[in-house]
Amino acid sequence: MLKPVDDRLVETLRTELPGLSIGTPGAAYLEEPRGRYKGAGGVLVKPTSTSEVATILRLCNAAGVGVLPYGGGTGLVGGQIIEDGPAAVIVSLEKMTALRAVTGHVLEIEAGATLQAAQEAAESAGRLFPLSIASQGSARIGGVLATNAGGVNVLRYGNARELCLGIEAVLADGTVISGLRHLRKDNTGYDLKDLLIGSEGTLGIITAATLRLFPRPAAVGTAMMVVESPAAALELLELAEARMPGCVSAFELISGQGLRFLDAAGPEVHQPFAARPDWSVLIEIGLPEGLGPEDALTGLFEAAGDLVSDGVIASSESQRAQMWTLRESLPEANKRIGSISSHDISLPLPKLAQFIEEAQAALAELGDLRINCFGHVGDGNLHFNAFPAEGRDRKEYESLRRAIPETVYDLVDRFGGSISAEHGIGRLKVEDLERYGDPGKLAAMRAIKSALDPKGILNPGAVLAER
Amino acid sequence: MLKPVDDRLVETLRTELPGLSIGTPGAAYLEEPRGRYKGAGGVLVKPTSTSEVATILRLCNAAGVGVLPYGGGTGLVGGQIIEDGPAAVIVSLEKMTALRAVTGHVLEIEAGATLQAAQEAAESAGRLFPLSIASQGSARIGGVLATNAGGVNVLRYGNARELCLGIEAVLADGTVISGLRHLRKDNTGYDLKDLLIGSEGTLGIITAATLRLFPRPAAVGTAMMVVESPAAALELLELAEARMPGCVSAFELISGQGLRFLDAAGPEVHQPFAARPDWSVLIEIGLPEGLGPEDALTGLFEAAGDLVSDGVIASSESQRAQMWTLRESLPEANKRIGSISSHDISLPLPKLAQFIEEAQAALAELGDLRINCFGHVGDGNLHFNAFPAEGRDRKEYESLRRAIPETVYDLVDRFGGSISAEHGIGRLKVEDLERYGDPGKLAAMRAIKSALDPKGILNPGAVLAER
């Protein structure tokens, strides 16, 4: 059983680390973007080096006090908020933002740097760090890795996991793992990097990382195309990848519901199609020299035949930006409308279209709902969110708060999908993981957690249910 | 302390699994490609299903008997050979070869299937499974994943790890992990897949996997180009990737020494350059529609200017095959010449050329040696192998058997490289891992090993030193 952080531990921290910033967490550390969780407080520390993080963990572990690793606070599943239980030490990496090294292929950066800072450092070196998510201005590299963030470019470049070559991390007892390799190939023992990535701060605190950089595509093309259905969108993806293998960097599904939400609630964006199409896609390609992106997209449009009924190809950087602004405004429009239940799920591609049909039908049986289904369809990743019918308030749907996710996740499970494609488990989905997770995997996860963090101090209550 | 397999365990296996093939391992199971290790024997079982594997492990674990997971036997670091210690149960997956499912994006296949069978299944579905290694006709998927195999296409498509979406595996106590997801994105708990991949059979036995399939490039181009030095080769790679980002699938460095070994010892191959160049590269590209590979390679050749002094672009499939045959004959020529010491290493790309210079100089100080330095230079992966001077026998170099690898690995370590880029640790590099590995990482590896395999039955003596 963990103990609450007390004056004695604070005193010990002050003695061993005289320069350490120690204080009371302000409101910003106790809130999360969707307002579902409210932090209980505790003590906030802001280490400035890996060795300080190691000392903090060693002392907390010795005292049996919980530790909450804190990045940018942008997670959507409550992984960064402790609502109850013994007060913990919140370890924010915000002072560890150094860019340690940049080469043509690798960025070595501390975990407190924002994702945007990493992207900008890559750009300054004439390279691309392709990970891109809506919260990149605030999300910090440590959190991005701890949650294995995804976003819009996974199709071509992979998740955070695949974009990270190595990490430096501190385990519960203060052991430092120094794995900042600048290597693409390194088969020397167990893959601790990938074990820590996606463990949501429950196995260690990532303090720095080496990130893969890519050459920037010689030319980028962006288009929006109207399709009849999600099935047609997937056929179009297939066609695009057959014509331009490895060059399709984003393929986003947009539903008419999402466009109508934008019309009704804003933010104000430029909509390329006067009549809001039921289904459209945003496609982005990056090409080698010698191929023009507008030609390539026109060629795709023509080859698509009946699959695509209308389309707009961006002919300038500002048109391209408009398309992305539309896409990236969808979550804000959702927020303004106010969802009853949101689901970050993934499906095997061949089953995705059928899933959407069945899930919409199943939810329609539950009640009068609006569904905004959109997302990174090229990765099989959907944001499948349920909203009140027009003119109704979400309070009227209290009785469905549990039934909606249960219906969606049961179906996801039956289709071989994932109940958390890119946001993670955090505290929101702990019970869902117990329910839908593979028992063998859960048993192994508990064994690993016990081995690396025997007192359970790291992010207590996240990912694995406390027993 | 493990016990040797005895009649009682064999009897229990026969009783619980009446149909199980149980016998004495023939010579094929006790040898490895380079003849460095000689297996001690034991009992050979050939399960036909995952549940049989689970029963075997449960019984061996209860009896405290060691288990040697066996794939195709092609590993180069002795991971598949137990030379001494208590006799173990060799679990060969050769009867588990079923292709369970193929979709446009995923191959679900049992671990006993050969890599070549997986490639062929992908090809039958009009897709590409890009992992390619010299031993693909014999290497089995389970071993390929357990060792995180690399090969010639890592540059574009990644290692075995990045090509695997999910695994089914059996842990030491018989627990089955069912993780055969057909998903690109799935953030539901710890990444056990990647923990098992690369663990060389010491944490579990992989029984099946889901593998990523790719669209085949619209057109493939292959060329060999003569460069002045490894530094020039890397500049050429940079140029190629800038012009064709994401389209360069292989970039192999070939040394004049390797070409002269082919001349002297065979196998007989077509050599494109009459005077054997000191350094050349084999480059392969896969392009989107609308770009001709010969044009693209000619364009690269012209843009390269002084960087490339001569070049041949394959103008037919048979010319392309000739180039690859030359590349893939290099290990056989090495074998015929007979190396003193071989090193599968990787370096950060910006330091690779300097490493080659310094390593050659350091070995020259040790004695009169010939170095064949070649490999997947695009990934920073070199096969840096030392041979006797012409006319001399490797027996004359007995006294250098330890000094050569030590010199190479010390330098690799100093340059931030890896002492095992793609072959793994096996039994060959256990001491090297102890010496060069990060202490924090090694401690965490031991904790995980103890948690998942408390009796240490799985591949005893591999990867981690026994204590």
- Facing residues of B227 across strands? B279, B308
Element (H, E) at B372: strand B369-374
What is the distance between the alpha carbons of residues A348 and A350, in angstroms, rounded to a whole number? Answer: 6
| Of the partner residues B182, B295, B445, the one whose CB lies closest to the CB of residue A189 | B445
**Number of cross-chain residue pairs from A and B with Cβ atoms under 8 Å apart:** 306
The 10s digit of each residue's pLDDT in B375-392 is 999 999 999 999 999 999
- Whether residue B207 lies within 8 A of chain A, CB to CB, comes out as no
The 10s digit of each residue's pLDDT in B282-315 is 999 999 999 999 999 999 999 999 999 999 999 9
Q: Above 90 in pLDDT, residue A218?
A: no
Element (H, E) at A120: helix A115-124
Q: Above 80 in pLDDT, residue A467?
A: no
Average pLDDT over residues A336-360: 97
**According to the model, what pLDDT value does residue A34 have?**
86
Beta strand spans in B112-163 (E): 127-128
Average pLDDT over residues A228-238: 97
Beta strand spans in A193-247 (E): 205-212, 214-215, 219-227
The 10s digit of each residue's pLDDT in B32-76 is 998 899 999 999 999 999 999 999 999 999 999 999 999 999 999
**According to the model, what pLDDT value does residue B187 have?**
98
Between the alpha carbon of residue A70 and those of residues A1, A59, A147, A330, A425, the distances in Å are: 22, 18, 12, 27, 16
- Whether residue A448 lies within 8 A of chain B, CB to CB, comes out as yes
| Of the partner residues A158, A192, A247, the one whose CB lies closest to the CB of residue B441 | A192
| Contacts for B229 with CB less than 8 Å, ≥ 6 apart | B278, B279, B353
Q: Where in chain A is the domain with CATH 3.30.70.2190?
A: 219-337
Residue pair A140/A187 in contact by the 8 Å Cβ criterion? no
Mutate one of B58, B184, B354, B448 to test the A interface: name it (highest A CB count within 10 A).
B184
Contact A463 B296 (CB under 8 A): no
- Give the dihedral sign, CA B131/B135/B138/B141: negative
**According to the model, what pLDDT value does residue B34 have?**
86
| Contacts for A136 with CB less than 8 Å, ≥ 6 apart | A114, A115, A116, A119
The 10s digit of each residue's pLDDT in B124-178 is 999 999 999 999 999 999 999 999 999 889 999 999 999 999 999 999 999 999 9
How far A87 CA sits from the closest chain B CA (Å)? 25
Residue B148's nearest CA partner among B191, B91, B107, B196 is B196
Q: Where in chain B is the domain with CATH 3.30.465.10?
A: 99-215
Residues from chain B that touch A176, judged by Cβ atoms under 8 A, are: 440
| Contacts for A92 with CB less than 8 Å, ≥ 6 apart | A29, A44, A45, A46, A70, A71, A112
Question: How much of chain A exceeds pLDDT 90, in percent?
Answer: 97
Chain A residue closest to B376 (CA)?
A185
Q: Above 80 in pLDDT, residue B467?
A: no
Q: Which residue has the tokens 């590993």?
A: B75
- Whether residue B222 lies within 8 A of chain A, CB to CB, comes out as no
Residue B102 tokens read as 């193929």
| Of the partner residues B158, B161, B191, the one whose CB lies closest to the CB of residue A195 | B191
What is the distance between the alpha carbons of residues A187 and A193, in angstroms, rounded to a whole number? Answer: 12
Q: What is the DSSP string of B256-302?
A: HHHHHHHHHH------S-SS--SEEEEEEEEE-TT--HHHHHHHHHH
Residue B121: strand, helix, or coil:
helix
**Measured in whole angstroms, how far is the alpha carbon of residue A418 from the centre of its chain?**
14
**According to the model, what pLDDT value does residue A466 have?**
80
**Measured in whole angstroms, how far is the alpha carbon of residue B262 from the centre of its chain?**
23
| Of the partner residues A147, A155, A346, the one whose CB lies closest to the CB of residue B186 | A346
In the stretch 166-205 of chain A, residues with CB closer than 8 A to chain B read 171, 175-179, 181-192, 194-195, 197-199, 203
Residue A236's nearest CA partner among A191, A155, A317, A302 is A302
Residue B420: count other Cβ atoms within 10 Å of its Cβ. 27
Residue pair A252/A377 in contact by the 8 Å Cβ criterion? yes
pLDDT grade, residue B31 (50/70/90)? Answer: very high
Contact B186 A245 (CB under 8 A): no
The 10s digit of each residue's pLDDT in A166-185 is 999 999 999 999 999 999 99
- Whether residue B153 lies within 8 A of chain A, CB to CB, comes out as no
- Whether residue A286 lies within 8 A of chain B, CB to CB, comes out as yes
| Of the partner residues A154, A190, A241, the one whose CB lies closest to the CB of residue B195 | A190
In the stretch 405-444 of chain B, residues with CB closer than 8 A to chain A read 416-425, 429, 433, 436-438, 440-444
pLDDT grade, residue B466 (50/70/90)? Answer: confident
Q: Where in chain A is the domain with CATH 3.30.43.10?
A: 7-94
Q: Where in chain B is the domain with CATH 3.30.70.2740?
A: 344-414
The phi and psi torsions of A437 (rounded to 5 degrees) equal -70, 155
The 10s digit of each residue's pLDDT in A357-406 is 999 999 999 999 999 999 999 999 999 999 999 999 999 999 999 999 99
Residue B144's nearest CA partner among B206, B101, B191 is B206
Assigned CATH class of A7-94: alpha beta
Mutate one of B188, B234, B287 to test the A interface: name it (highest A CB count within 10 A).
B188
How is domain B344-414 classified at the architecture level of CATH? Answer: 2-Layer Sandwich (3.30)
Which of the 8 DSSP states describes residue B33?
A: T
Q: Above 80 in pLDDT, residue A62?
A: yes
ipTM field: 0.97
Q: Above 80 in pLDDT, residue B78?
A: yes
Average pLDDT over residues B230-256: 96
- Whether residue B465 lies within 8 A of chain A, CB to CB, comes out as no
What is the distance between the alpha carbons of residues A150 and A379, in angstroms, rounded to a whole number? Answer: 10
**Can you name the CATH fold of A99-215?**
3.30.465
pLDDT grade, residue A89 (50/70/90)? Answer: very high
Contact A185 B463 (CB under 8 A): no
**CATH number of the structural domain A219-337:** 3.30.70.2190
Average pLDDT over residues A24-32: 95
